Structure 1
Amino acid sequence: MSEREVRCYSGEVRAEQPTDSPTKIQGYGSIFNSRSEPMWGFREIIKPGAFDSVLNDDVRALFNHDPNFILGRSASGTLVISVDDRGLKYDINPPDTQTIRDLVLSPMQRGDITQSSFAFSVARNGDDWYEDDEGIIIREINQISRLYDVSPVTYPAYQEAESTVRSMKAWQEARDSGALQKAINEKMARERLLTLINA
């Protein structure tokens, strides 16, 4: 089963053409500390620092995550990814072809395409699960192990969710069996011991 996951965000991408310059696509693939829409029984939060180890990956910019419509690539310098206080930011210099102008740029400039997405894998132990005060299951992602692509998208489509659902079920089983509470108690006991030792 694939460990690759895809997430989409609303209103985070635009195409701009400064005077006498090629059109650029700019957006955010991910927004930090923002709860996702409900998906598969939980909500997700990407934490600041989650992308720190993947900023030098060879990332592609695709339209709708389709490798047939490549808009840029970090290795070639046509895609620049970075992180600011808001989230994972990207800047694409798309190819000047009729296909890309018709399929991507023109609909973006009209406001028909306004959403952005990214494909990724979570690092081992790179996420935490908990239930909030309202009983909503939350998955906090603290570390991404691989960033595959960033993409302007026509509309959100949460694809390839098997690994996320497996991870949530494992957390629920640990919670229900008491193993989760035991682990929390052991962690708190270790922290108290370290506090006493360092006092």
Structure 2
Amino acid sequence: MTHERRSLPIELRAKGRRLEGYAATFNTETRIGGEFTETIVPGAFSASLASAPDIIGLVDHDPSRVLGRTRSKTLRLAEDTRGLSFELDLPDTQAGRDVLALAERGDLGGMSFGFRAVDAPRQGDRRELRKVDLFEISVVSAWPAYPETVVQARAKEPLLPGLAHAARVLRIFEVSQ
């Protein structure tokens, strides 16, 4: 079974100890490994979300740095017209504090997601992700692929006054296991 990962420039906001934004956006073309162009179709995540799997929120796809999960309701995911939105309640752990500090400073690269393609027809050098099994989303330090997604950090009550909150763009990459 091939597992893939995609990183995206995503909108990400820090609100207290919560991050929110988009882990993926629809209808945005990106070049994957110089081999083909890929687009995520609206509804690609709906079956996976409806089946209620335990999807995990990680730092840089590292399973030893768990930030939250859908089973405990510390990670909430939904599809809307723009893409796969998320809300993530950050834990009071070193990983959670680090991610929050980087988000507030605008230093995060964006978001990524790990999946298995279920329905992803390829025609020539183009592929559409129509249905995927989603198993994780990750806050990533660098290199997203879908340039139309944006990650922002914004605190409701800034924890560190005077810090700039910036959007960062990431490149998407593919990892086969």
TM-score bin, normalised by smaller chain? 0.7 to 0.9
Between 1:92-101 and 1:70-79, the stretch displaced more is 92-101
Trace 1:1-199 onto structure 2 (pairs within 5 A): 2-17=1-16, 23-55=17-49, 56-101=52-97, 103-123=98-118, 126-131=119-124, 137-144=125-132, 146-156=133-143, 158-161=173-176
Kindly provide the CA deviation profile for residues 170-189 of structure 1, in whole angstroms up to 9, marking residues without a partner as x.
xxxxxxxxxxxxxxxxxxxx
TM-score, length-normalised on structure 1? 0.69
Q: Is the 8 A contact 1:24 1:94 kept in 2?
A: yes
Deviation at 1:49, TM superposition (A): 1.2
| Mapped partners of 1:86, 1:96: distance in 2 | 30
After superposition, give the CA deviation of every residue in 1:96-125 in whole Å (9 maximum; x if it has no partner): 234421x211011100004110000011xx
- Normalised by the length of structure 2, the TM-score is 0.77
Contact 1:72 1:93 in 2 (8 A): yes
Higher helix share: 1
Count of residue pairs brought into register by the alignment = 147
Residue type matched to 1:121 in 2?
R
Distance 1:5 1:99, change over 3 A: closer
- Aligned-residue identity in percent: 34
Aligned 8 A contact 1:25 1:94 in 2: yes
**Alpha-carbon separation, structure 2, partners of 1:99 and 1:80:** 19
> Relative contact order (C-alpha < 8 Å, sep 6+): which is higher?
2
Query: Letter of the aligned partner of 1:24 in structure 2?
Result: R
Q: CA–CA distance in 1 between the matches of 2:25 and 2:95?
A: 29
1:50-76 CA deviation, whole Å, 9 max, x = no partner?
111111221000011111111101001
Mapped to 1, the partners of 2:2 and 2:174 lie a distance apart of 11
- When Rg is computed on C-alpha atoms for both structures, the one with the higher figure is 1
The structure richer in strand per residue is 2
> Does the CA-based 8 Å contact 2:14-2:103 persist in structure 1?
yes
